[in-house]
Amino acid sequence: MTQVPDLTKPSSTVSVRNASLPKAAAVLAEQIRAQILGQGLEPGSQLPSEPELIAQSGLGRATVREAIRILEGQGLIMIKRGSRGGMFVAQPDLSSLSHTLAPVLTLSKAPLRDLTTYRLMVEPPAAGLAASNASESDRADLLKLAEHGPGPGFVNEVRFHERVAVLSGNELLRALVVVPNDLLREHLKGESIDAHDVDEANEAHLAIARAIVAGDAARATKTMTRHLEAFEARMSREARLDRPIVSQEQWLREAAGSFGFDR
């Protein structure tokens, strides 16, 4: 059994012991986060248990639990139940970013046009990089994904674009494509997509994948641009560009429980 690190070692001059509960929890969470990142702990590394954290920090159970909840919400740690359970460093996952971005964009009433404009700025260069950087096996897999054709509900549509971003080999670019594309997935859930549109997307994906397989960065960039322009034009024809990315109806469908505000 490997020694679990003491994550509450004073990494700064801030003392958490005399602070009130929510603040103490936030400060403890910040210290633990700094230790995980500062010590370069790998995803999957075991962290101290709740009782160990209580002993190490000298704080109460409620404060330590709140700190754990904060770190979980930030996607930095994960809790596994059961005999081999405990607290572990989480695998890097962008979905917590999407969960934060979606409500912010809805509250600020960002229209779909913001997303289509943004994609045109980011995704064509990502496709160009993929054509230059992707490994042989990744190229072959991308072509297979494009040849497979879109699944129900346009599942492959978003997946294909995310794969291209991954193949760019640039972690930041990957995040900047994957996070907004999670919003696109939400948007597409609420759209009716006919067979013609599916065919168009399918052919476009094939053209992009072939350019990437051929290592032709200029052609990959151009075919991606054309594909995204076609999507934007279709949304424009349907008068969708000035409406919210994720509609209010979509949020309410997600709420689909008994909870509702009385107004």
Q: Report the interface residues with Zn ion, using CB under 5 A.
A: 157, 201
Shortest separation between residue 231's beta carbon and Zn ion, angstroms: 7
Cα gap 223→166, rounded to integer Å: 18
CB 170 within 8 A of CB 155: no
Taking each helix axis from N to C terminus, what angle separates 95-107 and 171-189, rounded to the nearest 10 degrees? 60
Nearer to Zn ion, 70 or 184 (CB): 184
How would you class 236 by CB atoms within 10 Å of its CB: exposed for 0-12, middle for 13-18, buried for 19 or more? middle
Q: How far is the CB of 113 from Zn ion (least distance, A)?
A: 18
State the nearest-atom distance from the C-beta of 137 to Zn ion, in Å.
22
Residue whose CB is less far from Zn ion, 157 or 186: 157
C-beta of 67 vs 201, nearer to Zn ion: 201
> Which residue's CB is nearer to Zn ion, number 226 or number 243?
226
The span from the CA of 246 to the CA of 254, in Å, is: 11
Q: What is the smallest separation between the CB atom of 154 and Zn ion, expressed in angstroms?
A: 9
Task: Give dist(CA 228, CA 120) in Å, integer.
Answer: 6
Q: Minimum CB separation from Zn ion for residue 162, in Å?
A: 10
* Alpha helices (H) in the chain, listed in sequence order: 21-38, 50-57, 61-73, 95-107, 112-133, 136-148, 155-167, 171-189, 195-213, 217-237, 248-255
- Of residues 64 and 160, the one with the C-beta less far from Zn ion: 160
Least distance in Å: CB of 165 to Zn ion? Answer: 12
In this complex, which beta carbon is closest to Zn ion, that of residue 47 or of residue 166? 166
Structure tokens at 44: 């999957």
- DSSP category for residue 153: G
Q: Contact 212/142 with Cβ under 8 angstroms? A: yes
Nearest in space to 93 (alpha carbons), one of 106, 115, 77? 77
- For the bound state, the minimum distance from the C-beta of residue 160 to Zn ion, rounded and expressed in Å, comes to 6
- Between 129 and 201, name the residue whose CB sits nearer to Zn ion: 201
